[in-house]
Amino acid sequence: AQSVTQLGSHVSVSEGALVLLRCNYSSSVPPYLFWYVQYPNQGLQLLLKYTSAATLVKGINGFEAEFKKSETSFHLTKPSAHMSDAAEYFCAVSYSGGGADGLTFGKGTHLIIQP
Amino acid sequence: DTGVSQDPRHKITKRGQNVTFRCDPISEHNRLYWYRQTLGQGPEFLTYFQNEAQLEKSRLLSDRFSAERPKGSFSTLEIQRTEQGDSAMYLCASRFGQGKNTEAFFGQGTRLTVV
């Protein structure tokens, strides 16, 4: 079964500091990987996705993620945190092969920005 | 394009009552998903429609849950004989086309509280 592990349920960084949110996936076939952001009492918004075209993926709001097959990772980064980045972040996976069509999500990482 | 809309946004019900939620996907999206999200967790897949056909159901979807998408447009999710464990955010998402690498667009969710 496909799965995603997000290391760290809470991450706290200072405003202006580097943001690093970790995501590892399990896979026996090529994955498609997604990062979503969720603000309180809202739905999820796509930040970026990896679909095998390029290993370094740039998304909205200055976020980017790098797909590393050898490490089965897809960590999310942003060079300089802004107060508006405070939210819940979810990594999700789907697979190119047959089988389930829905996304499998990690448990999420709550990003806290310290002023 | 008004995005995915869900109604109601909040629902409080007494244990044992039936509730029904509605989801209106983005109009040209043929695929529709229901997810459940409990506090501190990522969304968990419940069921998936392609047009009007319900193609996948999670084992999380007990026999008290039923979903329909009668004309391949809007969808309803009904929970019968609600239990306190049903308290959660119910998210609807829609996607265009067939690929597993396409973005899922999420609604703002319906928050259910069973008292």
Query: Tens of pLDDT along B22-59?
Result: 999 999 999 999 999 998 899 999 999 999 999 988 88
Instruction: For residues B91 and A72, give the distance between their C-alpha atoms in angstroms, rounded to a whole number.
Output: 28
- State the average pLDDT for chain A: 91
**Cβ within 8 Å, pair A44-B100:** no
* pLDDT score, position A96: 60
Instruction: For residues B9 and B31, give the distance between their C-alpha atoms in angstroms, rounded to a whole number.
Output: 22
**Cβ within 8 Å, pair A108-B106:** no
Find the CB nearest B42 among A52, A102, A105: A105
| Partners of residue A95 in chain B, C-beta under 8 Å | 100
In the block, tokens 């667009």 appear at B105
| Partners of residue A94 in chain B, C-beta under 8 Å | 100-101
Residue with the larger pLDDT of the pair A30 and A40 = A40
> Which stretches does DSSP call E strand in A1-115?
3-7, 10-14, 19-26, 31-38, 44-50, 56-58, 64-68, 73-78, 87-95, 104-105, 109-114
* pLDDT score, position A100: 66
3-state secondary structure chain B: CCCCEEECCEEEECCCCCEEEEEECCCCCCEEEEEEECCCCCCEEEEEEECCEEEEECCCCCCCEEEECCCCCCEEEEECCCCHHHCEEEEEEEECCCCCCCCCEECCCEEEEEC
| Partners of residue A46 in chain B, C-beta under 8 Å | 103-105
**Which of A28, A38, A89, A35 has its CA nearest to residue A58?**
A35
Contacts (Cβ under 8 Å, ≥6 apart) of A54: none
CA atoms within 13 A on the CB side of B20: 8
* pLDDT score, position A101: 75
Task: Grade residue A98 by pLDDT with cuts at 50, 70 and 90.
Answer: low
CA atoms within 13 A on the CB side of A5: 9
SS3 state at A30: coil
For B103, phi then psi, to 5°, come to -70, 135
